[in-house]
């Protein structure tokens, strides 16, 4: 299903049903990357058929990796080993996917051929020095433009060397980039995080038989490890579940069960924040799907109250804050977010764009340098510009569950990057989205 540029939403009062949201984007990216450089044939189930993860898949196919696609969500990846990638015919175009670009910059820093990584207008404005500077300290020849943004030019280096590095910002993308470069480096690479971030890379590398050592906030691996093919199950994405979690909380008649959601403890900040706000959330049938913990989540209509969001939860919910802001707009009292300046360098400046959108719908939302102060109130009808940011568009769609009039959301095409079936699932559950 194609997603057009503008959503029009009539107010609705119910969000109900039991369903599986889109597969996890972070894990889908990594499943292709690691399978491609492994020895042997890996099988992936639950792969997200969204534009971002398909950009990663296309990049490896362009570098000579054979991938069979027997049916939707299934991949058979014939790994070429750590040094088996081939130079592509041209630049690798990665669309809107910051994960693809940042992780690939580390993985490709150790190759023996030059290449260029490019992206769309949004990706071309995102900061890349956070990966190019430490990669250069490892001996890599990886360079952005003068503004520190894409395209990235990668040329063969004289050899990468492991290093010990304290990450200046809590970023799973930077951490993963440097761990992937560490596979190609001589010696040990050790990274120290200022706060916990999603650990899908560490878990999946272990599934591929790489010895990754974690001690508190330090992660280490030795260069030259061989990845051995394995089977990967991709769970449903908690970031995609977040929209329906918030929707069920704020709907007058909300009762939603989301199946097979990844509940990796480095990603469950959204559950913790909503519970602190008074959300009624049950975690049912917890189990393992490969290296990742999953569960079914049941969420019911809740009387939410404003809170000061604990800063230690910010890295564990960084992608879910657009949805949290909508919950805060429907909560009684004031919600305050601090310590989230990272939101300003996502697909959009999510602090500014969400504040402007909430204000357009009649909510008192005041942006701050590192967060926002939101006073709960009555959401009005109005027009919101999502600035091409998929999470902004989907968050404001859920606001229609408490709106007094029609909401129009522009520039929504990028919803397909992470959640191709969003409109269908949302309308089946009770929203009224016209495209």
What are the per-10-residue average pLDDT scores of the chain (435 residues)? 76 98 97 98 97 97 97 96 98 96 98 97 94 98 97 97 96 97 98 95 98 97 98 97 98 98 97 98 96 97 98 94 98 97 92 98 98 98 96 98 98 91 97 96
CATH number of the domain to which 148 belongs: 3.65.10.10
Q: Are residues 268 and 386 in the same domain?
A: yes
**Which residue is catalytic, options 24, 120, 199, 319?**
319
Asked if the structure places residue 174 within a domain, the reply is yes
Same domain for 171 and 239: no
CA distance 65 to 187: 27
SS3 40: strand
| Residue 319 appears among annotated catalytic residues | yes
How many structural domains does the chain have?
Answer: 2
By residue range, what is the domain housing residue 17? 7-23+235-434
**Secondary structure E strands in 263-360:** 280-289, 292-300, 334-337
The H-or-E segment that residue 35 falls in is helix 25-36
Let me know if residue 411 belongs to a domain.
yes
Domain end call among 233, 260, 285: 233
Q: Does residue 370 fall inside a structural domain?
A: yes
| Cα 178 to Cα 230: distance, rounded to the nearest angstrom | 22
Measured distance CA(232)–CA(204) in Å, rounded: 9
At residue 418, the pLDDT reads: 86
Do 425 and 283 reside in the same domain of the chain?
yes
Whether 385 contacts 410, CB under 8 Å:
yes
| Residue from 400, 380, 389 nearest 246 by CA | 400
Does residue 218 share a domain with residue 285? no
State how far the alpha carbon of 156 is from the alpha carbons of 14, 113, 152, in Å.
Answer: 56, 6, 13
Q: Report yes or no: 261 and 295 within 8 Å, Cβ to Cβ.
A: yes
What pLDDT was estimated at residue 345? 86
- Containing 422, the helix (H) or strand (E) segment is helix 422-429
Residues 410 and 297 in one domain: yes
Same domain, 17 and 37: no
Instruction: Locate 130 and state its tokens.
Output: 């956070």
- Same domain membership, residue 291 and residue 414: yes
Percent helix, strand, coil in the chain (nearest 5)?
A: 35, 30, 40
Rounded CA gap, 366 and 332, in Å?
Answer: 16
Within a domain: 83: yes
- Note whether 130 and 169 are same-domain residues: yes
In a domain, 2, yes or no: no
Q: Specify if 423 maps to a domain.
A: yes
Of 174, 205, 233, the residue at which a domain comes to its end is 233
Q: Mark whether 50 and 110 lie in a shared domain.
A: yes
Same domain? For 225 and 143 the reply is yes
Residue 390 lies in a domain: yes
- What would the DSSP string read from start to end of 362-414? T-EEEEETTEEEEE--PBPPEEEE-TT-HHHHHHHHHHGGGBSS-EEEE--GG
Same domain, 293 and 359: yes
pLDDT, residue 32, reads: 98
> Torsion angle of alpha carbons 419, 420, 421, 422, nearest 10°?
50
Sign of CA dihedral 386, 315, 20, 326: negative
- pLDDT of 3: 46
DSSP states of 128-162:
-HHHHHHHHHTT-EEE--TTS-SPEEEE--S--B-
Domain annotation covers residue 289: yes
369, 341 in Cβ contact below 8 A? Answer: yes
This prediction has a pTM of 0.94
Same domain, yes or no, for 202 and 346?
no
Q: Exposure pattern of 311-349 as b/e (b: 16+ CB <10 Å)?
A: eebbbbbbbbbbbbbbbbbbbeeebebbbbebbbebbbb
Alpha-carbon span 423 to 415, nearest angstrom: 9
Collapsed DSSP state (helix, strand, coil) of residue 258 = strand
CA dist 19 to 71, 258, 260, 292, Å?
20, 5, 9, 20
Please report the pLDDT score of residue 416 as a whole number.
Answer: 87
């Amino acid at each position: 299903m194609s997603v057009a540029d503008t959503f029009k939403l009539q107010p609705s009062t119910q969000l109900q049903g039991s369903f599986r949201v889109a597969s996890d984007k972070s894990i889908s990216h990594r499943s292709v990357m690691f399978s491609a450089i492994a020895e042997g044939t890996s099988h992936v189930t639950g792969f997200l058929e969204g534009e971002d993860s398909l950009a990663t898949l296309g990049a490896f196919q362009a570098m000579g990796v054979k991938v069979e696609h027997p049916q939707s969500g299934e991949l058979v990846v014939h790994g070429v080993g750590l040094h088996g990638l081939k130079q592509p015919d041209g630049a690798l175009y990665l669309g809107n996917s910051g994960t693809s670009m940042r992780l690939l910059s580390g993985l490709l820093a150790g190759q023996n051929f030059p290449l260029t990584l490019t992206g769309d207008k949004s990706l071309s404005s995102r900061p890349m020095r956070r990966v190019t500077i430490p990669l250069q300290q490892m001996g890599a020849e990886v360079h952005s433009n003068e503004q520190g943004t894409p395209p990235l030019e990668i040329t063969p280096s004289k050899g990468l060397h492991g290093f010990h590095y304290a990450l200046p910002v809590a970023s799973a993308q930077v951490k993963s980039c440097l761990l992937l470069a560490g596979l190609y480096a001589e010696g040990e690479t050790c990274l120290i995080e200022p706060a916990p971030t999603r650990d899908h890379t560490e878990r999946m590398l272990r599934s591929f038989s790489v010895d990754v050592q974690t001690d508190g906030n330090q992660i280490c691996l030795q260069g030259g490890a061989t990845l051995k093919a394995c089977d990967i199950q991709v769970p449903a994405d908690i970031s995609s579940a977040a929209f329906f979690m918030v929707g069920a909380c704020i709907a007058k008649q909300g009762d939603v069960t989301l199946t097979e959601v990844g509940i990796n403890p480095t990603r469950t900040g959204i559950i913790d924040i909503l519970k602190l706000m008074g959300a009624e959330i049950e975690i049912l049938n917890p189990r393992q799907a490969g290296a990742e913990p999953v569960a079914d989540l049941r969420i019911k209509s809740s009387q939410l109250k404003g809170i000061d969001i604990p800063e230690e939860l910010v890295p564990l919910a960084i992608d879910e804050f657009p949805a949290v802001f909508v919950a805060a707009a429907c909560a009684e009292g004031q919600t305050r977010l601090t310590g989230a300046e990272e939101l300003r360098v996502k697909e959009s400046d999510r602090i500014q764009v969400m504040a402007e959108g909430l204000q357009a719908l009649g909510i008192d939302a005041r942006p701050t340098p590192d967060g926002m102060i939101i006073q709960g109130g009555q959401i009005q009808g109005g027009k919101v510009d999502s600035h091409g940011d998929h999470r902004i568009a989907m968050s404001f769609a859920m606001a229609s569950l408490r709106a007094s009039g029609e909401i129009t959301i522009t520039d929504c095409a990028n919803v397909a990057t992470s959640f191709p079936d969003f409109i269908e699932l949302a309308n089946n559950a009770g929203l009224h989205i016209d495209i």
